[in-house]
Amino acid sequence: MKPRKQNSSAAVPVMDAETIRRALRRIAHEIIERNPQLEQVALAGIPARGVEIAQRVAGFIREVANVEVETGIIDVAMHRDDVGTRPELPVVRASNLPLPLEDRTVIIIDDVLYTGRTVRAAMDAINSFGRPARIQLAVLIDRGHRELPIRPDYVGKNLPTATREQIQVRLQQTDNEADAVWLERES
Amino acid sequence: MTTRWTRKDLLGLRELSADEINLVLETADAFKEVGTRQIKKVPALRGKTLVNFFVEPSTRTRTSFELAALRLSADVINISATTSSLTKGETLKDTARNLEALLADILVLRHSSAGAPQFLASRLKASVINAGDGAHEHPTQALLDLYTIRERRGKIAGLHVAIIGDILFSRVARSNIFGLLKLGARVTLVGPSTLVPRQFEKLGVEVSHKIDDVLPKADVVNLLRIQHERQRREYFPGLGEYIRLFGLTKERAKLLKPDCLIMHPGPINRGVEIDSDVADGLQSVILDQVTNGLAVRMAVLYLCGGISSQ
């Protein structure tokens, strides 16, 4: 992949379609290993890319273990702690989780883990649907800089970053671009 | 969804674009889902204060706004006042001062004078939501009507909606006309010529004084309440004659298409604008309207309340 220019910042590729595929496949393997009762697992994607990643991970679990894990959508917008402090009001979407949650392991799935605030909001949102047996967290990229005591259970790639850098995940289904992860620096 | 919400107030549907109306409806989809949860409360407006200021009596709209605000975790204060003790201009200014003193973030106002919400919106930092002003607009009622039509029929554009009854005095009709036309529906107003004058045609709607001609063609009929309390003899010969000429009786309902929706903003005068059996029948979506009103009001409070604090 060639570096690309976006506005005034330089973007360098850190993952391509194949490395993304391998990372998600490895996450699927780890989920299978850590959850002997695989049929109790539900993957809850955070819109929009988390939902797509959850679909792909579910596909790899089907390939490897021949088990159909349930997938759902967990929207965090109405559970954020910063409504009214950001320049743009987050768009709210309907959540949709397999119910009841009581005996399930819900795995939250997102593209990038950064401050941890989105994950906190997702846990809050999940609890309004019921009380899962446990909640785990899977992310494609962990870029560091946590502001809350939150730690992922499954990581596609650890990518130490500076706060002024940005991670851009692009997926065919959500962005109509080839699968890739870009690191953007202000130039 | 590319439209962004930039309004601190919701005063009417006349000034909204089709995209803005659709944004409210899509946001309401998300909030409707909250009603299906074990815990039907989200923290989106936690720490904000909403004042329900109802100068005209209302139970259902006030309760709906109150529950919507509680489900968004806002604190709610209800203030009511009798119209008789108020005179318009001065009192509204005083109202504004008092509300600022309460540090309210959102003011939901019902007032007998058209334009009262506009008056306060331009003077307050708080969001102002019009819950009905005179015979002017009642935007959240029209939005929940639009939401219910869209939910049941999958679309609004191209549908033929008949609004029947007392149009002249109806803010519900006016807001519905603006909303329906913006979203591409065809609208026919039906009622006696005293209550549905031809001047309404200037808005881009059709006017008919013969209900039996309109019913077979309608995809939605929205029956407005006959407001006994406002009627004067010159508009209205009598209830018996109204029922005979314009009531949706059991017999008349047979003229409707099988998939035509029957709507009513409530409270129903059973046996006047609509027969009891028809109101409770399979085509009636009157209770869906109430449920959807909650989701739509949550959406409006979220959009306007989220903006105001910036």
pLDDT in tens, A123-146: 999 999 999 999 999 999 999 999
pLDDT digits (tens, 9 = 90+) for A142-166: 999 999 999 999 999 999 999 999 9
Instruction: Report residue A4's pLDDT band, with 50, 70 and 90 as the boundaries.
Output: low
pLDDT digits (tens, 9 = 90+) for B168-211: 989 999 999 999 999 999 999 999 998 999 999 999 999 999 99
List CB contacts (< 8 A) between A83 and chain B: 44-45, 306
Weakest mean pLDDT among A3-17, B213-227, B282-296 = A3-17
Higher-pLDDT residue of B84, A159: A159
Nearest chain A CA: its distance from B175 CA (Å):
25
Q: What is the mean pLDDT of residues B223-242?
A: 74
Query: What does the alpha-carbon distance between residue B115 and residue B137 come to, in Å, rounded to a whole number?
Result: 9
Record: contact A88-B33, CB cut-off 8 A? no
List CB contacts (< 8 A) between B33 and chain A: 94-96
pLDDT at residue A10, as a whole number: 83
pLDDT digits (tens, 9 = 90+) for B41-63: 999 999 999 999 998 888 899 99
Q: Answer whether residue B87 shows pLDDT above 90.
A: no
Q: Answer whether residue A187 shows pLDDT above 70.
A: no
Minimum CA–CA partner of A125 in chain B? B42
Record: contact B30-A87, CB cut-off 8 A? no
pLDDT at residue A185, as a whole number: 85
Weakest mean pLDDT among A24-38, A50-64, B70-84, B262-276 = B70-84
Q: Answer whether residue A9 shows pLDDT above 70.
A: no
Nearest chain B CA: its distance from A54 CA (Å):
20
Q: What is the mean pLDDT of residues A105-110?
A: 98
pLDDT at residue A25, as a whole number: 98
Q: Answer whether residue B114 shows pLDDT above 80.
A: yes
Top residue of A83, A95, A102, A126 to mutate, by most chain B CBs within 10 Å, is A83
pLDDT digits (tens, 9 = 90+) for B117-137: 999 999 899 999 999 999 999
Minimum CA–CA partner of A97 in chain B? B37
pLDDT at residue B137, as a whole number: 97
Specify whether the CB–CB gap between A74 and A122 falls below 8 A.
Answer: yes
Record: contact B27-A129, CB cut-off 8 A? no
List CB contacts (< 8 A) between A95 and chain B: 33
Record: contact B44-A127, CB cut-off 8 A? no
Query: What does the alpha-carbon distance between residue A161 and residue A158 come to, in Å, rounded to a whole number?
Result: 9
Minimum CA–CA partner of A121 in chain B? B43
Nearest chain B CA: its distance from A86 CA (Å):
8
pLDDT digits (tens, 9 = 90+) for B237-282: 678 888 899 999 999 999 999 999 999 998 898 988 999 999 999 9
Specify whether the CB–CB gap between B267 and B217 falls below 8 A.
Answer: no
Record: contact B42-A84, CB cut-off 8 A? no
Record: contact B44-A78, CB cut-off 8 A? yes
Record: contact A95-B29, CB cut-off 8 A? no
Record: contact A128-B29, CB cut-off 8 A? no
pLDDT at residue B91, as a whole number: 74
pLDDT at residue A82, as a whole number: 73
Q: Answer whether residue B286 shows pLDDT above 80.
A: yes
pTM of the complete model: 0.91
Nearest chain A CA: its distance from B263 CA (Å):
26
Average pLDDT, chain B: 91
Minimum CA–CA partner of B45 in chain A? A83
List alpha helices for A88-171, DSSP H. 117-127
List CB contacts (< 8 A) between B306 and chain A: 83-84, 89
pLDDT at residue B84, as a whole number: 44
Q: What is the mean pLDDT of residues A30-57?
A: 97
Q: Answer whether residue B218 shows pLDDT above 70.
A: yes
Establish how many alpha carbons lie within 13 A of residue B50's alpha carbon, considering only the half-sphere containing its beta carbon: 31
Q: How far from A148 is each of A105, A118, A137, B43, CA to CA, in Å?
A: 22, 10, 14, 18
Query: What does the alpha-carbon distance between residue B186 and residue A49 come to, in Å, rounded to a whole number?
Result: 39
Higher-pLDDT residue of B28, B238: B28
Q: For chain B, what percent of residues have pLDDT higher than 70?
A: 93
Q: Answer whether residue B2 shows pLDDT above 70.
A: no
Query: What does the alpha-carbon distance between residue B4 and residue B20 come to, in Å, rounded to a whole number?
Result: 8
Residue environment code for B212-237, b if the CB has 16+ CB neighbours within 10 A, otherwise e = eebbeebbbbbbbbbeeeebeeeebe
Query: What does the alpha-carbon distance between residue B86 and residue A70 come to, in Å, rounded to a whole number?
Result: 59
